[in-house]
Every structure is written in C-alpha cells, then in structure tokens.
Amino acid sequence: MSEQEHEHDGERRSIRCLVAKVGLDGHDRGAHVVARAFRDAGFEVIYSGLHNAPEEIVQATVQEDVDVLGISILSGAHNTLVPKIVDGLESYGAAEDTLVLVGGVIPEEDRPALFEAGVAAVFGPGTPIDETIDFVREHAPARGHDR
Amino acid sequence: MSDAGLHDADEALLERLLEGDHRALARAISRIEDRAPGYRGLVSALYGHTGNATVVGITGSPGAGKSTLVDKLAEHYRERGETVGVVAIDPSSPFSGGAVLGDRIRMASTVGDMDVFVRSMSARGRLGGLSSATADAVVAMDAFGKDRILVETVGAGQNEIDVVRTADTVVVLVPPGAGDTVQTLKAGILEIADCFVVNKADREGADRTVQELQEMLQVGAHGPGGDGGTSGFTAHDAGHHGVRGVAGHDSDPDGDDHLEEGWSPPVLETVATRGTGLSALLESLEDHRTYLERSGELAARRRARHGADIEALLRDDLGALVARELETVGGVDALAEAVADGRSDPYRLVDALVEPLERCLADEDVRDRAEGDLEALLE
C-alpha cells in the first residue's frame, strides 16, 4: 500500500500526473524516465505520447483531472508552447489547481517568464529524480479536492 | 458511515455537470475514484439522470489493439454527431500502487474534441472496487449526457471481467495467430463476449484464429453442461449473460433469428489502424443492441448489474465496519500474535469479533427500524 493512499473512511487518494510531450521534438527518453519514476513512487501517470499540440495537452489535463502536469520540452519552443497550455487550462478553470512543471533544456533567462505564466517549477537536465518526486509530494496535495 | 445524501459542494458540482461542464464531469469522476467523502451522495443523485447512453465494453489481451479500435469507434460516433465517453482501464503496479496509463496515446483521431471524453483509470492496488468505480464513472458520463460510452480494459482476470460487465455489449478482441490466446480465453472471457473481433486481420494466422473461435463457440453451444466438450469449455453462459442460442456459422447476424434463438456472438475481422471491418463491427453492435432491447435481455442485464452493485457496496461497507472493529481491538497484528504464540486460534477470535454485530442484527428494535427505512425507500 503506498503512502499516497489515505485509507480512512475508505478514501483512496492517489496523486495523478500527466507527463506530456508537446510540439515537434521527438526526444522522449526523459519523459519515459520521469513517468516510470513517478509510477514507482506510487503516482498514477498518464503518458501523452509524442508530438502533442497544446490543445491536446489541455484536453487531457482537464479530462483526466490530474494534480500535476509535467511538460517535457527539448525543442526550445517552451516560450510559446507553455503559455498556450496554461491559457488553455485557464479557459477551463483548471489552471489554479493543477501543478504545472516543466522539464527539459530551459535557459536560465527564460525561466522567470515561465514562472510568471504559472509554471511552479522547472527541472533541467541532471535534476535528481527524487528532487522532482519530493517537489510533487510536497506541492500536489495542497490542492483542495472539494472544489 | 458516509451517507447517501448530497453535500452542498457536490450540489454545485452536480449542477455544473448536468449543464455540460466537462471539468465538472472530470472532477466528479475524481471524487468517485478517490472514494472521497460524500461521493456516494453524488453518485446517488446522478443515478436519476441516467439510462440514455449505450455502453460497450472492449476487452482483450495487451497489444490486441483495444485503444486503436476505441479511437476509431469514437471517431465514427462523432461523425454521426453523437458524444462519446471513454473509460480506459490499465492495471496498476501491485508493488508501488502506481501506474502508467498510456491508452490516450492511441486516441489521436478525436484530438481537441471535448465531446470525446477520455478518462484513464487504474486499479490503485485495490482488489475489488475497480468495477464499482468504473460503473460509477459510467453513471457520471451517462448523466452528463454522453450518447456512447466505451469501457476499455485488459482482459486479464476476474477483476477485469467484472469491469467489462458494466457494459451492455461486450466485445472481445483477439490477436491473430494466437492459438494459445484462444485457449486462455476459456477462462471466463469466452462466456461474456457478445462479439469477437480478430483484430490485425491482415496478419498471418487471422483466418485460423477466426476458425478456432468459431469452432470453440460451436462446442460451447452444443455441449450441454459442457461435460462432453472436447475443449473443456462449458455452455454455462446463462449465469453470466442469460440466453444464448445455438451458434451457427453466423457473421450474418439477423435480428429475427436472434430473437428466436438467442444471440450467437459473431466473429469479425478488423484492421483497426486502417478502419477495415469497422462498419461490420458497428452493424453487429447495433444488431446486438436491437436484440437486447427486443428480447428483454437489456433490462435483465441491467437488473443483474444493479444487483451486483448492491452486493459489492454492501460488502465494501461491511468490510469497512469490520476494519474499524479490528482497529478498536488493537489491529489485526495483535490478534495474529495471539494465534502465533498459541494463546488463541483464528476461528475463536473471529467469533468474538463478529458477535457484537450479530447481537445488533438480532435486536428487534433495530430490525424494525431498518426494515421500515428500507420499505420507505422501495415505495
């Protein structure tokens, strides 16, 4: 039994994550590693597959009602794609209680704008996977489930 | 004990869901999956708005092409202007409880179309409960107003078989050239299929698989009691889905024949990636629907399902009751230790644990009140 599950009153909560590849870059090794590690941490991971448009990511995030959206981008198009996704989430009222993370090669100077857009954290190459998992554990459950 | 009344927060959620807010549907399903406090009241309120969707279950071994087929079906329904809900179930890791749910990857035909609502679910390490969570999610989608609901699951074990039974029509996918797979299908899945689909029919061995399935179906239909069945497969399908008639060499399902003889599952061939054979499958699904309605089987199946739901809920609740009772006496470990060191044995301990419950149930005042409450609900 994983520690994410609270068994009182029969409640079975599990942290749900969408690991998404957006845009044209076809490098999904990182996304696979993260998806696998999240699973082993007891999370429920929905993997999007490659080459998703921002609208697809929004659709999946809303329908799956995930706690965490992890976007993996290695193409350099993060400045246009990420805000599109966050805007899409906002149009469904889903932005405020989704923890949005970005993984991949994100130059330092681009990060403030991403945080401004609503990204909670950026995990660059070489980030120990435990650091990401701990971050998710610490921040994901903060969202109330009664809205 | 959580009651079946509707909490205030859920009332707003229910309202938004019924108005067609997809996010509210998503959140309602989350509450159902989490068994969150008050979810019962929510599902209970949703029940009043159901009954309009047709529910098709699709099962088969991993890699049989379920997600691709579901995607194509969804695309087709959308072209006809119908709305679609999909519940895609993947097993979870028995070790971490985590899961990687990848079914969405293959559902690319309906991208960006909110009227195809795909929801992935895992077993979350629970043994039972998945089928009731699925059934409740289907209730939510039905109440939302989805015209077609597809439930997709790996046909691996009893749990998954229970899940797929939340559907009115069950499609079993079989990969070609899978002699061994056909053998393993005997374990309960053959009996629940209303329609067999040999997918990837362009691959070698497809014809043979179709033939094997047809033979197996004939044996199943002819061997009364299954004693003489050469394959050991029995014709005891009545316990699962009721009437099932003599299996002929069909593939030309004819509504009237089925009324007289019951339904014999057709064996179809598809290449889901290219959409080949899809129209024949859709036709079979419609035929089965007609059969269900005309024969009264639909009502019978739904009754059977509600019965199973009631029993499952009852077991859940009693299980929770017992778990709490165990907690109050210090947990199961303390008792296990008493057995281990010879102070007691499991039978005497369980007797002692159940005794107060039995005494409660035997109490006449309690009984009278409970029976009165029940009668009021049945009026």
If you measure CA to CA, which chain A residue comes closest to B7?
A: A146
Summarize pLDDT for B67-123 with one digit per residue, the tens. 899 999 999 999 999 999 999 988 766 666 667 777 777 777 777 788 999 999 887
Task: Give the whole-angstrom CA distance, residue B80 versus residue B82.
Answer: 6
Q: Are B203 and B170 in contact (CB under 8 A)?
A: no
Residue A108 DSSP symbol = G
Judging contacts by C-beta atoms under 8 Å, the chain A residues touching residue B26 are 62-65
Chain B contact present for A79, CB below 8 A: no
Residue A14's CB: how many other CB atoms inside 10 A? 22
Q: Do you know the residue count of chain A? A: 147
Does B22 contact A63 at a Cβ distance shorter than 8 Å? yes
A39 touches chain B (CB under 8 A): yes
Q: Closest chain A residue to B13 measured between Cα atoms?
A: A147
Q: Are B219 and B246 in contact (CB under 8 A)?
A: no
Is residue A12 within 8 Å of B73, Cβ to Cβ?
no
Residue type for B155, please? G
The helix or strand, by DSSP H or E, that contains position B261, with its residue range, turns out to be helix B255-261
Kindly give the interhelix angle for B297-328 and B278-295, rounded to the nearest 10 degrees.
90
Structural contact between residues B109 and B123, judged by C-beta atoms closer than 8 angstroms: no
Give the separation between CA A115 and CA B154, rounded to whole angstroms.
40
Q: How far is B48 from chain A (nearest CA, A)?
A: 22
Cα-to-chain-centroid distance, residue B46: 18
Q: How many CA atoms lie within 13 A of B130 on its CB side?
A: 28
Closest-CA distance of chain B to residue A43, Å: 5
Q: How far is B23 from chain A (nearest CA, A)?
A: 6
| Predicted-complex ipTM score | 0.85
Radius of gyration of chain B (CA): 23
- State the smallest CA–CA distance between residue B258 and chain A in angstroms: 39
Residues of A in contact with B106 (CB under 8 A): 49
Burial of B38-71, coded b for 16+ CB within 10 Å and e otherwise, reads: bbbbbbebbeebeeebbbbbbbbbeebbbbbbbb
Nearest-by-Cβ selection for A145 from B2, B34, B92? B34
The rounded distance, in Å, linking the Cα atoms of B144 and B53 is: 10
Question: Which residues of chain B have a Cβ shorter than 8 Å from any chain A Cβ?
Answer: 2, 9, 22-23, 26-27, 29-31, 33-37, 92-93, 96-102, 104-106, 111-114, 117-120, 122, 124-126, 129, 316, 320
- Element counts in chain A: helices (H) and strands (E): 5, 5
Task: List per-residue pLDDT tens for chain B, 379 residues long.
Answer: 446 778 888 899 999 999 999 999 999 999 998 888 888 899 999 999 998 999 999 988 777 888 899 999 999 999 999 999 999 988 766 666 667 777 777 777 777 788 999 999 887 655 556 777 888 999 999 999 999 999 998 766 666 677 777 899 999 888 887 656 566 665 667 778 899 999 888 888 888 888 888 888 877 665 444 333 333 333 334 334 444 444 444 444 444 444 456 888 999 999 988 888 999 999 999 999 999 999 999 999 889 888 888 888 888 888 888 888 888 888 889 899 999 999 999 999 999 988 988 898 889 888 899 899 899 888 8
Token output for B230: 């050469």
Interatomic CA distance for residues B66 and B199, integer angstroms: 9
Residue B34 distance to chain A (closest CA, Å): 5
- Give A-chain residues touching B2 at CB under 8 angstroms: 9-10
Whether residue B144 contacts residue B85, with contact meaning beta carbons closer than 8 Å, is answered with yes
Min Cα distance A2 → chain B (Å) is 6
SS3 label, residue A18: strand
Classified as helix, coil or strand, B2 is coil
Q: What is the pLDDT of residue B217?
A: 80
Copy the structure tokens of residue B21. 């807010």
Cβ contact, residue pair B118, A63, below 8 Å: yes
Extended beta strands in B175-314, E state: 195-198, 267-269
CA A14 to chain centre: 15
**Is A20 strand, coil or helix?**
strand
Per-residue pLDDT tens digits for B270-318: 998 888 899 999 999 999 999 999 999 999 988 988 888 888 888 888 8
Q: H or E stretch including A73?
A: strand A68-73
Pairing between strand A68-73 and A16-21? parallel
d(CA B32, CA B42): 8
Contact B157, B183 (CB under 8 A): no
Ranges under pLDDT 70 in chain A: 1-12, 141-147
Render the burial of A126-142: b for 16+ CB within 10 Å, e for the rest: eeeeeebbebbeeebee
Contact yes or no for B124 and A1 at CB 8 A: no
Instruction: Choose, out of B67, B92, B100, the residue to mutate when testing the contact with A (most A CBs < 10 Å).
Output: B100
Chain A: residue whose CA lies nearest to B317: A10
Cβ of A97 under 8 Å from any chain B Cβ? no
Task: Identify the DSSP state of A97.
Answer: T
- For A:15-34, CB contacts with B below 8 A are 16
CA atoms within 13 A on the CB side of A60: 35
Torsion sign across C-alpha atoms A39, B125, B180, B207: negative
Rounded Cα distance between B6 and B13, Å, is 10
Q: What is the pLDDT of residue B157?
A: 62
Pairwise CB contact (< 8 Å): B104 & A35: no
Closest CA to B29 of B168, B170, B135: B135
- The 3-state DSSP class for residue A131 equals helix
Nearest-CA distance B119 → chain A (Å): 5
How confident is the model at residue B223, as a pLDDT?
46
